[in-house]
Structure 1
């Protein structure tokens, strides 16, 4: 492993970098019974949503388009049921990166996936779960907050949160507790509008953000939606803002990272995990195959 990757791992372990996880962070996760990889990136989610069959070229561009198409034909509940069945209804192996991150006890993690891996790994420790919501009435905000006391979640208002607790921020939602998702185009229009307006991030998260640096893992930053999310989520970052592991960065990703003050490292999550002394034999056996 290069000295740069080693230094990034050390910085993560010391809590000096905020991990921001994208679909690539779930590489190597498979269904324990069927051996099928977890649908995480846009293409795999679209195929899973459509019973394994490709959709039209226009809809295959991004999962949110495909989800919007299904929502218009079968209702919003159809997309929610699909995501519930995908992420809560199947027995997935553990992602090695998630297992290692949880073991370091980070104070703040941004997870742009909709799975339950980190929530299950956090289940025995007090923490705050923040998840995005969209197209709801009765509130000015676009988030739900749950506090876990080590035995279960309870929903709270942002004013009741202990700001010293670790925060797991899942902007696109998850199945538990009580599923909520940002999935279709209509969801993203509402959520991103409120995110840019400051109403999709709790005050206690905003208070800890100034000067933070980030490590983007599993995000290729080739889609407008990803870039808009990252832009708002890392607002008030330090200088430099951080690093992004992208094996084959596109010109779009390069331009975006240059504007944001993010240094691209042309390597994948596998390279970060490869040969890590932090993974002992037992951890590798628990986690699965990737990098062990």
Structure 2
């Protein structure tokens, strides 16, 4: 990464032009203090530690979750997810840095932890939009929550094409327009209401509609316009990860960055090229430490 690229990222952050998109890999910044799964493989290990699943899905999160849902009930899956992610773990320095940004209109947290919420807890000018499972909340793509964790009641029903069909989109609550920061958790989160998109059937429902953007919150679609995404702790080797990133960043800008220190797979390299994402080949900890450094004061004559 050149100094010019890094300076550009920092300047755009200061102007509120950068949307951080965090994946499970950011949890590794906590080191030994990490108390929740920090990868899909770690999560499936947690889910199957007490519940036996077929060998063919033992290392597949969505497949293992679907088996548990089918044969042990959805409530068993939800309980296992809560046990995996509910902890006293504190936000990392990166989470605290992001929460302190004076201009951060949108923050995407694409994992099930609650560290972003904990980091934002000292503020009152933000809210959340979380993806929800059709299995548990049929007819709804997303729930909105206030900074205190209270569910925002819907002023009007979700708009539908026909009474018996799925909603075309869930209208955003009016109060969301006043939030300085929207925390978007497309996969749900352990807090405040234990909403999780994790099983095969959860994702099938979303993926059938995501190409036309219906599951994405309206404010996300508006805020992303013209802005740049910065991917931290993300990998794009799996199709599901690429699909979500592609659809969330759709119609934004043509310039983005991803911190990816390890060798890329062919699919990852192709994805970065297609989406105009510049790879930053630095350890995540090194990049985040530099990002948190204050901008030098301009020289005076």
- Which of 52, 67, 70 matches 1:69? 67
Structure index of larger Rg: 2
Provide Cα deviations, 1:231-271, integer angstroms capped at 9, x if missing partner.
1100102122x011111221111101111111111223212
Q: Residue in 1 aligned with 2:161?
A: none
Secondary structure of 2:184's aligned partner: strand
Q: 1:249 aligns with which of 257, 261, 264?
A: 264
Aligned pair 1:271/2:268, yes or no?
Answer: no
Note if contact 2:272-2:278 (Cα within 8 Å) is conserved in structure 1: yes
Structure 1 residues without counterparts, runs of 5 or longer: 280-292
Question: Offset of 1:207 from its aligned partner?
Answer: 2.0
Question: What's the CA shift for 1:17?
Answer: 0.9
User: Counterparts in 2 of 1:171-250, with a 5 A limit?
Assistant: 171-240=186-255, 242-247=256-261, 248-250=263-265
Identify if the C-alpha distance between structure 1 residues 37 and 139 changes in structure 2 by more than 3 Å, giving closer, same or farther. Answer: closer
Deviates more, 1:259-268 or 1:224-233: 259-268
Aligned 1:55-204 pairs, distance under 5 A: 58-88=56-86, 90-105=87-102, 106-123=104-121, 124-136=123-135, 140-148=139-147, 151-157=148-154, 158-165=172-179, 166-204=181-219
CA RMSD of the aligned region, Å? Answer: 2.6
Provide the C-alpha distance between the structure 2 equivalents of 1:265 and 1:52, rounded to a whole number of angstroms: 39
Instruction: Kindly provide the CA deviation profile for residues 65-92 of structure 1, in whole angstroms up to 9, marking residues without a partner as x.
Output: 221122222111122111112222x221
Rounded to whole Å, the distance in 1 between the matches of 2:292 and 2:152 is 38
Equivalent position SS for 1:27: helix
Kept in 2: contact 1:46–1:55 (CA 8 A): no
Structure 1 residues 74, 277: closer, same or farther in 2, change over 3 A? Answer: closer
Q: Distance in 2 between matches of 1:9 and 1:117?
A: 23
Contact 1:47 1:53 survives alignment (8 Å): no
Residues 149 and 192 of structure 2 are in contact (CA less than 8 Å); yes or no, is this contact kept in structure 1? no
CA distance in structure 1 between the partners assigned to 2:13 and 2:41 by the alignment: 30
Of stretches 264-273 and 109-118 in structure 1, the one that deviates more from structure 2 is: 264-273
- Matched-pair contact (CA < 8 Å) for 2:226–2:251: yes
Matched residues in 2 for 1:152 and 1:77: separation? 22
SS of the residue corresponding to residue 92 of structure 1 reads: coil
**1:180 CA drift (Å):** 0.8
Residue-by-residue CA offset, 1:8-45 (whole Å, 9 max, x unaligned): 344334422100000111113367xxx56420211100
Measured at CA, do residues 57 and 13 of structure 1 come closer, stay the same or move farther in structure 2, by a change above 3 Å? farther
CA offset digits 1:187-225 (Å, max 9, x no partner):
111122232232212222222222121001111100010
Q: What is the TM-score with the length of structure 1 in the denominator?
A: 0.83
